[in-house]
Structures are given as structure tokens and as C-alpha cells.
Chains A and B, each alone.
Chain A
Amino acid sequence: MGQSTPIGTKTILIVEDEALIRFDLVDFFEAAGWRVFEAENADDAIRILDHHKEVRAVLTDVQMPGSMDGVKLAHYVRERFPPTVLFVVSGNLHIPDSELPPQTTFLPKPFDAHRLLRQLEAAQPR
């Protein structure tokens, strides 16, 4: 993984149970020079976040097996790690902003990863 990237910047956690999609996103962000953590459910994601405080962005799918879905995970992350940049992805109907934590971007599936990258880099503190 992109170990050369300075800690605290350009670090993202991808939470997606569909491995084919997750692999692609991991590859994509790594190719873009990001340090990438991956999790296939919310429980794994929380474990990673607890150990790697440097994660500044979280991209999570909504539908996942396990105790928490993506929306709950997003709320959890916003509460525990308030500055995190949050993206919630779903193939289901649009999730209204009122159900999402503040400053969270909803992305319908499938989404344009290049555009997401531009958004992320713009939001990234320099």
C-alpha cells in the first residue's frame, strides 16, 4: 500500500462488501497516490479507524452484512472522528440528507471515481 504518503493526508478507508468493487476502488486510489484501508463491513471499519487515526476520508456502501449499515457507520464516524470527510454510496434510492450526518456526500451507485477523487483532493487540507 502507498506507504510513501505522509500520515494524515491522503488516507482513505473503503468500506464495501462487494469485493470486486472494493478491489477496483482500492486499486484506483492507490494508483492516485492514496494510502488505502479496506473493510468489508462496519465492524472491520471501526477496528481500522480505532487503530489508524490518520484516516481522513471514509467511503462506505450502505447495504452491508453485520450489525451496522453504512448510514449508521457514517453517523458513528462523524461522532467519533468529526473532521472525517464522509461519502455514503448506495445502489438503492437516494438517501435524504436528513438521514445522513452533517457534511456527508451521498453518491448513487455506480459513481464516477475520478470525480470523487477531484472532490476529495479539493477538500483535502493543504
Chain B
Amino acid sequence: MPNTKTLPFVDRLLSWSFRHPISTPARYAAATVLIVVVGLFRALVISSIVPWLLFIPVVLAIGLVLGRGSGVYAGVLAGVVAGLSIGNAREPLWLTDAQWIGSILFVLVAAGIAVFAAELRAAFARARRLTVEKDDALARFAEREAFLSGVLSSSTDCIKILDLDARLTFMSEGGQKVMEVSDFNAIAGCPWPDFWRDKGNDEARAAIAAAKAGQSRSFIGQAATMRGTVKWWHVAVSPIPGADGRPARILSVSRDISDLRASEEERDRFVRLVENSNDFVGMVRTDGTVFYINDAARRMVGLEGGADAGSLSIADFLMPEEAAKVANEVLPAVARDGHWAGEIDFRHFGTGEPIPALYSVFPITDADGALIGYGTVTRDFRERKRVENDMQLMNGELAHRLKNVLAVIQSVAQQTLRNAPDTETASHDLSARLAALGAATDVLTGKSWRSADLCELTKRALAPHGLIGRRILINGPSVTLKPEVTMAFALALHELATNASKYGALSNDNGTVALTWTVEGDDADARFALRWEERGGPEVSLPKRKGFGSTLIERSLRSYFRGQAATDYRPEGLVFQLEARLGDAAIVTGK
């Protein structure tokens, strides 16, 4: 207590007396001894002129050190001892009147001094107690402050105090670390919401407004640290009430949740991967009950509309015979080999139809590696099977057509050979006929053997025989020939043109051939008429012998077109006419 101006000795003495309480008898005994000693000292050394003076400091000291009771006792005792030492046996009352008066006054004064000293002692005691209390309070306060600042600095949360204008006034040490702040003074006083990006900025302003109104808010937003690292934060903003209970400052506690957020985003991506997959993705527990199936799975087996998959088991998704296979072969194989894949027929919940699928199964384990179920990624094979079937059909169809074409070629070749006068003619005729058949297959292949355009077919078949448009004039409406008549028709045209080149209008330089056809009517019963008319050639005479070509023209076209076919050997030029029902010759699209 350096500010207390007391004598060090008195101070020490008082302090000592407070530290060493003395029992009441001892106090009185000590007071008695002191007074008696002083009385003896006075009687022996000092004359009787000042009989009470010496006692005053002693009484004062006793009152101060030993308390009021001892002090008053010492004062009374001092009066007695002084009276005894100055008395005279000759006086009837031991003391003179003046001495009595003096003694009584002294006792009163000494008692007063003792009381006063005792009060001083009490005041000293109070001061001392207050000092101790103050020290205690200070110590507790310091301890608490150390605790709080320890908490603040060791927290990895960024703890900030803002003023009511949302300006930064304080940031915890740990907060400065996570915010990568090297010098807080650089950002002190900056408006806090400005640290937040996009939506976070609005959220921060709203939280400040709420805090000013006395409410706490929290939000999640993105903010960059002072070094520019963008992080996700969870922020709690709350008012700090002032003395009047109204918000005086604002507390903001932000926690870095970037890692959590990243793992959530990663998990979300996996969830979306599974949910958006076009493959059937599902999980079952070890007892076979369904734990999860994605939307593609629901679509595949007809479970749209959100029937509860949890009540289903693996067998419900499969054709009965396949369910047994999965239970007896597939799942044991998965347990043994860790994987199984193969074709399995699933079952449609609505129609009960089998759904061919590529079924791939694998075990699902928990974090400790214990088997908790099975997962599957299953591909719908319906479309693929359909394509496979189509391919098979097409292959068969192709083989059939190929063999048919070979058979036709065989027939044409045999008839050519049978009717040819010599091998050279046979070779020439056969080559030309095969070329004509080739032209027909070209036109058919262009339409996948479904039909042939008559105009295109005539142009192709006749192109080797003369300039189309000058020597050969083609005119007719669009007609789509049936594939089965196309080859014979091309061959017939070829024979007509060959004959014309040998004996008819195309055998000189200026004859022409007009090939025209008409369609009368507009349904399958419409009449189709085709006319081959030669002009400008040498005079025509009836041939002596009809060759294969001529026979073929009439006979085959009559058969294929189920109509009339006739050749008229007019002197001015050959005319060939074919008449048939349009539906027998061509593909009629209903108009």
C-alpha cells in the first residue's frame, strides 16, 4: 500500500497485531505489565511533577494494538498506578484534592485516547480488508481476462466485433489467422459486408440490419481471405447490448466450412451421377430387400409414379427363373469373385414382360469393409436386342434376296446359252443382260430393295443404248415399281433396246424411241399403260423366229404385271404395249 502514509513501524505493528490475534486475558495481562513497568519507571526515575504524562503514549499504543477494552483498562490502571506512585500516607485520602482531580481527569482523558486509538485500529482494519478484497477482485478479473483472451485467440472461428455501422473494430487472433490477416490495422474500420460476394453480400447486410434490431441471424456465404483464397463460411451475427440494453455493437462469428462444403458438393455430384444415369442403378441389402433404385430403374421396369421400392426385393424385379439363378449362382459368385456380369431377363411390373438386360452386380461394403448389400448397374438391352433381331432378320432377308438374284441370273444365263447360236453371241448377250440386271439392282439397292422409281430405272437400263432425250425419249408420271417386277422389267427394256439397236429405230443414225407411260385413276385399281414406240428406223418385218429376248419381253412382263403385253411389228416401227392394274405393278400410296 504505497499510497498510505503511515509510519512504517506503526503500520508493521498494526499489521502484526492483525496477523497475531491475542486472547483477551493475555491482552489484559500485557496491558497490566506495560502500565506497571511504566509506573515503576516513572516512580524510580522521574520526579512527580508529571505523574501521568508518560502513561499517555502507552495507553495510546495499547488502544491501538490491543483494542478498546485493553486501552480503557490500561487508562484506568495507569490512573491507579500513577495515583499510587504519587500518593502520601499522610493525606487522609492518599492523594491531595488536586491530585484526585488530576487523576480523575487523567483517567477520563486516557480512556478517551484509548477509545480513539481503538477507533483508529478499527479504521485501519477496514482499510486493510478493503485492500485485500480489491486485490482479490483484481486477481480474479485478470484471470478471467486471460481466460477470455485465451479462448478468443485459440478459437479457429473468426470472431469480430463491429460497430453499429458494420465497421470492423476487433478481430480475434485465431480469426486473423484463418482470414490470413497480416495487419489488422489495414482492415480495421472497413465495412464488413463488403467482404462478402454475390448473395452473401445481401445476406450480410440483412444480418447487420437484424442485429441492429436486436436479433441474431446466421447465413452461409462465400468470402475471400486477405490473400484471396475464396472460402465458404458459416456466419452467426448477433447484437452486443450496451449499458442501456440496446444493441451497442455487433458480434460476428464466422466458421470456415469450405472442406465440409467441398465434401458435400462431391457427395451431391455422386448422387446426381446416379440419379441422372440412364442405366438402372440399384442397391439391395444382404437379405435382398431393395434399399435404393434410381429413376432410370423405375422407368425400365415400369415403377414410375413412386411406388415404394423399400417393400420390394431383388426377386420382384426378375423373371421367376432368373430370380432363382440370381439367388443360387449370381450372388454367391459376387461374394466369391467380387463381381458378376451377364445377361438376365428383368420383369416389367406393369406388363410382366421380360426385359433383356446386361446385369452387373458388385458387393457394397461399409467403411470397415463389412458386406452390407449388393449394388447393380444394369443396362436395358431391349433396344439392342431389337436391333440384333432386326439385323438377323435383315441378314436372312439379304441372303434370301441374294439367292433369288443368283437364281434369276442362273435362269437368264441358261436361257441365253440355250438360245445362242454360238458361244461368242452367248457371251455378248449374257454380259449385256447381266449389266441390265445390275442397273436394276442399283436402283433397288438405293431404296433398300423396297421399291424402284420407274423413270430412274428406265434411264439406267436404256443409257447404254443411246442418248436419253435425243434418241430415246422418256415421258411418264412418277411411278414406284414393286421390287419383284423391277428386275424383269429392266431386262425387258434391255431386250427391247437391244432389238432396236440391231434391227429397229436405233440401228441407224436418226431413228428414235419414245417410251411413255400413263396412269389412269388414282387408286390401286388405276390402269397403268406403257408404250414403246420406234420411229425412223428401217422398215420392219415380222421376225422369222422369236429369240429369247422377244419371248422374254412378252411372256415375263405378262406374268409379272398380270396384264396384257403385245408387240406390234408395224412397218414404220415396232410398237410394244403393256397394260396392267397399277396395284400389280407399282406401290400405290393411298392419296
Interface residues in chain A, defined as those with a beta carbon under 8 Å from any beta carbon in chain B: 17-25, 27-28, 31, 40, 63, 91-93, 108-110, 113
State which of B369-377, B450-458, B554-562 sits at the interface with chain A.
Answer: B554-562
A40 nearest CB neighbor, chain B only: B559
Give the CA-CA distance A20 to B552 in the complex, in Å: 8
Indicate which residue in A17, A20, A31, A108 contacts B411 across the interface (CB closer than 8 Å).
A20
Residues of B within 8 A of A110 (CB): 403, 406-407, 409-410
Q: How far is the CA of A17 from the CA of B482 in the complex (A)?
A: 14
Report the minimum CB–CB distance from A6 to chain B (whole Å). Answer: 25
B412 within 8 A of A: yes
Residue in A closest to B559 when the chains form the complex, CB atoms: A19
- Known pairs A19-B555, A20-B488, A40-B559; A28 contacts B407 (CB<8 A): no
For residue A82, give the distance in angstroms from its CB to the closest CB of chain B: 29
Kindly list chain B residues whose C-beta atoms are within 8 Å of the C-beta of A27. 414-415, 418
Contact, CB under 8 Å: B414 / A109: no
- Within 8 Å by CB of A20, from B396, B402, B487, lies B487
Cβ contact within 8 Å between B404 and A24: no
B415 touches A23 (CB 8 A): yes
Task: Output the residue of A17, A21, A28, A108 with the most chain B CB within 10 A.
Answer: A21
> Which residues of B (407-453) have their CB < 8 Å from a CB of A?
407-412, 414-415, 418
Residues of A within 8 A of B396 (CB): 92-93
**Inter-chain contact A24/B488, CB cutoff 8 Å:** no
Nearest opposing residue in chain A for B416, CB measure: A24
Q: What sequence of 0s and 1s flags, for each residue 369-404 of chain B, a beta carbon within 8 Å of any chain A beta carbon?
A: 000000000000000000000000000100111111
Nearest B-chain residue to A19, judged by Cβ? B559
What is the number of residues of chain B that contact chain A, defined by CB distance less than 8 Å? 27
Please determine whether B404 and A23 come into contact, CB atoms closer than 8 angstroms.
no
Q: Can you list 28 contacts pairing A with B, beta carbon distance less than 8 Å?
A: A18-B484, A20-B408, A20-B411, A20-B487, A20-B552, A20-B556, A21-B407, A22-B559, A23-B551, A24-B415, A25-B411, A27-B415, A28-B414, A28-B418, A31-B418, A63-B400, A91-B402, A92-B396, A92-B400, A92-B403, A93-B396, A93-B399, A108-B403, A109-B404, A109-B407, A110-B406, A110-B409, A110-B410
Please tell me if B491 contacts chain A, counting CB pairs below 8 Å: yes
Q: Which of B411, B491, B556 counts the most chain A CB atoms within 10 A?
A: B411
Q: How far is the CA of A104 from the CA of B403 in the complex (A)?
A: 21
Chain A to chain B: the 5 pairs with minimum beta-carbon distance, closest first: A91-B403, A24-B411, A19-B559, A110-B407, A110-B410
A110 and B402 alpha carbons, distance in the complex (Å): 10
Interface of B is mostly: helix
**A20 and B418 contacting across the interface, CB-CB below 8 Å:** no
- Within 8 Å by CB of B556, from A23, A28, A31, lies A23
Assess whether B404 is in contact with A91, with CB atoms less than 8 Å apart: yes
Q: A20-B408, A28-B418 are in contact. List 9 more A-B contacts (CB 8 A).
A: A18-B484, A20-B412, A23-B551, A24-B414, A91-B400, A92-B396, A92-B400, A109-B406, A110-B410
Chain B residues whose C-beta falls within 8 Å of the C-beta of A31 in the assembled complex: 418
Residues of B within 8 A of A108 (CB): 403
Q: How far is the CB of B558 from chain A (nearest CB, A)?
A: 8
Beta-carbon contact of A19 and B488 below 8 Å: yes
Quick check: A19 and B415 within 8 Å, CB to CB? no
Whole-angstrom CA separation of A53 from B136 in the bound complex: 139
Complex interface residues of chain B between 464 and 509 (CB less than 8 A to chain A) = 484, 487-488, 491
CB distance from B290 to the nearest CB of A (A): 44
* A22 → B minimal CB distance (Å): 8
Given the contacts A23-B415, A23-B556, A27-B415, A18 and B400 also touching, CB distance less than 8 Å: no
Bound CA span A25–B407, Å: 11
Cα separation A21 to B415 with both chains bound (whole Å):
10
Residues of chain B with a CB closer than 8 A to A92's CB: 396, 399-400, 403
How far is A97 from B46 in the complex, measured between Cα atoms in Å?
167
Asked if B559 and A24 sit within 8 Å, CB to CB, the answer is no
Q: How far is the CA of A18 from the CA of B401 in the complex (A)?
A: 12
Complex CA gap A44/B162 in Å reads 106
Q: Nearest A residue to B485 by beta-carbon distance? A: A19
B4 CB to closest chain A CB (Å) equals 126
Q: Which residue of chain B lies nearest to A113 when distances are taken between CB atoms in the complex? A: B414
**In the complex, chain A residues whose CB is within 8 Å of the CB of B487:** 20
- A18/B407 contact (C-beta < 8 A), A24-B415, A28-B414, A31-B418 known: yes
Contact with A along B554-574 (1 / 0, CB 8 A): 011001100000000000000
User: Smallest CB-CB separation from B487: which chain A residue?
Assistant: A20
B414 and A18 contact, CB distance less than 8 A: no
A26 CB, min distance to chain B CBs, angstroms: 10
Nearest chain A CB to B420 CB, angstrom units: 13
**Residue of A whose beta carbon sits closest to that of B488:** A20
CB nearest to B403 among chain A residues: A91
Distance of A3 Cα from B415 Cα, bound (Å): 22
Nearest residue (CB) in A for B397 is A92
Residues on the B chain within 8 Å of A25, using CB: 411
Q: What is the CA–CA distance of A21 and B484 in the complex, to the nearest angstrom? A: 13
User: Which of A20, A22, A23 is packed against the most chain B CB atoms within 10 Å?
Assistant: A20
Point out the residues of chain B lying under 8 angstroms from A20, CB to CB: 408, 411-412, 487-488, 491, 552, 556
Closest chain A CB from B564 CB (angstroms): 15
Instruction: Looking at the assembled complex, report how far the CB atom of A37 sits from the nearest CB atom of chain B, in whole angstroms.
Output: 15
Known: A28-B414, A31-B418, A109-B406. A23 touches B555 (CB 8 A): yes
Partner among B399, B404, B418, B551 whose Cβ is within 8 Å of the Cβ of A18? B404
With a cutoff of 8 Å between Cβ atoms, the chain A residues found around residue B402 in the complex are 91
A92 to B400 alpha-carbon distance, docked (Å): 5
Which of chain B's residues have a CB closer than 8 A to the CB of A93? 396, 399
Q: How far is the CA of A113 from the CA of B414 in the complex (A)?
A: 10
The residue in chain A whose Cβ has the minimal distance to the Cβ of B419 is A27
A108 to B491, alpha carbons, bound, how many Å?
25
What is the CA–CA distance of A20 and B415 in the complex, to the nearest angstrom? 9
Q: Which residues on B sit within 8 Å (CB–CB) of A63?
A: 400
Kindly report which residue of chain A lies nearest to residue B406, judged by CB atoms.
Answer: A110
In the complex, A80→B555 CA distance in Å?
31
A22: nearest residue on chain B (CB-CB)?
B559
Query: In the complex, which residues of chain B have a beta carbon less than 8 angstroms from the beta carbon of A40?
Result: 559
How far is B410's CA from A108's CA once the two chains are assembled, in angstroms? 13
Cα(A24)–Cα(B551), bound, Å: 12
Question: What are the residues of chain B within 8 A of A24 when measuring CB–CB?
Answer: 410-412, 414-415
Query: A23 to B415, alpha carbons, bound, how many Å?
Result: 9
